[in-house]
Amino acid sequence: MSFPTGRIAAFGLLLFFVSGLVVAADKPHIIEKVGVFDVDGKFGGWPANHGMWIWDNEILVGFSTGEYKDLGERHNIDREKPEHHVLARSLDGGHSWKLEYPAEQHVLVGPQGKGFRHGTFPPGQSEPEPVDCPGGIDFTHPGFAMTLRMVDSNTGQSRFYYSYDRGRTWKGPFKLPMMGQKGISARTDMVVNGPHDCFFFLTASKADNKEGRVICARTTDGCKTFEFVSNVGPEPKGYYIMPSTVRISPTELLCTIRCKSGEDEKFRSWIEAWRSKDNCKTWVFDQELADCGEGNPPAMIKLKDGRLCMTFGFRASPFEMRALLSSDEGKTWSEPFVIEGEGGGRDIGYPRTVQRPDGNVVTVYYFHDKKDRDRKINATIWNPGTPSSAK
């Protein structure tokens, strides 16, 4: 399903079509908005909990589906009905999507019981108990995808799965070692260093067994063994969770984190950045990047032109999906670019973002507008403009 946006004129942009290619003017602008999952009476949510991958113009994204139920300011998914973990695949760069159901292969189901679901565990679904990974995973395989999933938001052991055929079949689940932590609530944030070498950025339990602080772990043998590398920042009063990290140079990385104040502090929810200049051994606070209303995770990528792009949901009026761009390795950032506005409330966000070979960006998130009670998964295809537009 496609629908017009009306934003191109608002930005005063001019597009030229040359041999079927779009040549963008200076500023970021919307290309198309697409419905990935939009079913009456249903709830779609939280792509950030699952993952998103791209190979040329083939894109795969995971998310949850369930039954809609009006719960006021809470996530409006029926807590007494099954919540399913599904995938959606696009073969045309995000213009159209088709749902896939990995539970039919007994993978990506998650643990028996509720786990980190908001709904119930689907009857008749199952997957094997996680085992130790034998290692040898090739992170540079042309069809590679990996997803990390948590069992509980506060404590417990996480698991992971990987694919060599663009997510059509998966191996796993495998145990993610605890590495001396009380609990690890893993989502997928990886920086690949080589065929068998990868940094993983994870949310670990604090001393009180609650989420969360961000840690960096590393494998050099394709996930047979993992080692704790560093804490990204001190233990907070509230939480630091859901990191999104990019490599800037052979030794420098930037990690963005979803943050919330402690119970004894004035309520705040924001996104901040931490920087390492010694390949993750130590981290230094960089800056606060954005207010995000009642809390939403960042999704950061490095664009082909070298800029950084961070997308997130703003869970306060006017309830928007936003993007920030940086032309100087995250030192300064643009004013927010609105990916989708006119939201109907706080139950939005949790994006994942990729860049297509033609330079256009695809951001997938859950959303609802003022006219539609259901929670749906949308994709916005947008052009990030030129580097000068980020200043």
Structure tokens at 16: 């030229």
Q: Which structural domains are found in the chain, ordered by start?
A: 1-118+293-391 (no CATH), 128-291 (2.120.10.10)
Q: What is the pLDDT of residue 153?
A: 80
- pLDDT tens digits along 45-103: 999 999 999 999 999 999 999 999 988 878 999 999 999 999 999 999 999 999 999 99
- Calculate what percentage of the chain has a pLDDT beyond 90: 82
| pLDDT over 60 at 249, yes or no | yes
| Whether the predicted pLDDT of 28 surpasses 80 | yes
Question: What is the pLDDT at residue 115?
Answer: 64
- Per cent of the chain over pLDDT 70 is 92
Say if residue 252's pLDDT is above 50.
yes
Q: What angle do CA 375, 96, 149 make, to 5 degrees?
A: 55
Model pLDDT for residues 107-162, shown as the tens digit of each residue: 999 887 666 789 999 999 999 999 999 999 999 999 999 999 998 888 889 999 99
Q: Give the pLDDT confidence of 273-302 residue by residue, as tens digits.
A: 999 999 999 999 999 999 999 899 999 999
- In a 10 Å sphere around its CB, with 0-12 CB exposed, 13-18 middle and 19+ buried, how is residue 284 labelled? exposed
In tens, the pLDDT along 96-114 reads 999 999 999 999 998 876 6
Q: Is the pLDDT of residue 1 over 80?
A: no
Number of Cβ within a 10 Å radius of residue 141: 13
The predicted pLDDT at position 116 comes to 75
**How confident is the model at residue 370, as a pLDDT?**
85
Q: What average pLDDT does this structure show over 189-199?
A: 98
pLDDT value at 17 more than 60? no
CA distance 227 to 149: 18
> Does 271 have pLDDT greater than 60?
yes
Cβ neighbours of residue 253 closer than 8 Å, sequence gap 6 or more: 191, 199, 245, 246, 247, 275, 276, 279, 280
Is the pLDDT at 375 greater than 60? The verdict is yes
Q: Which of 262-271, 293-302, 358-367 has the lowest mean pLDDT?
A: 262-271
Edge-to-edge strand list for the sheet holding 239-247: 239-247, 253-260, 269-276, 284-291
Q: What is the pTM of this model?
A: 0.91
**Band of pLDDT at residue 5, cut at 50, 70 and 90:** very low
Can you say whether residue 8 is alpha, beta or left, with left for phi > 0 and alpha for psi between -120 and 50 degrees?
A: alpha
Give the model confidence (pLDDT) of 203-242 as tens digits. 999 999 898 899 999 999 999 999 999 999 999 999 999 9
pLDDT at 11 over 70: no
The residue with greater pLDDT, 1 or 264, is 264
pLDDT value for 117: 87
Residue 387: pLDDT band (50, 70, 90) is confident
Strand (E) or helix (H) holding 10: helix 7-10
Residue 115 to residues 155, 306, 326, 356, Cα–Cα distance (Å): 11, 39, 37, 34
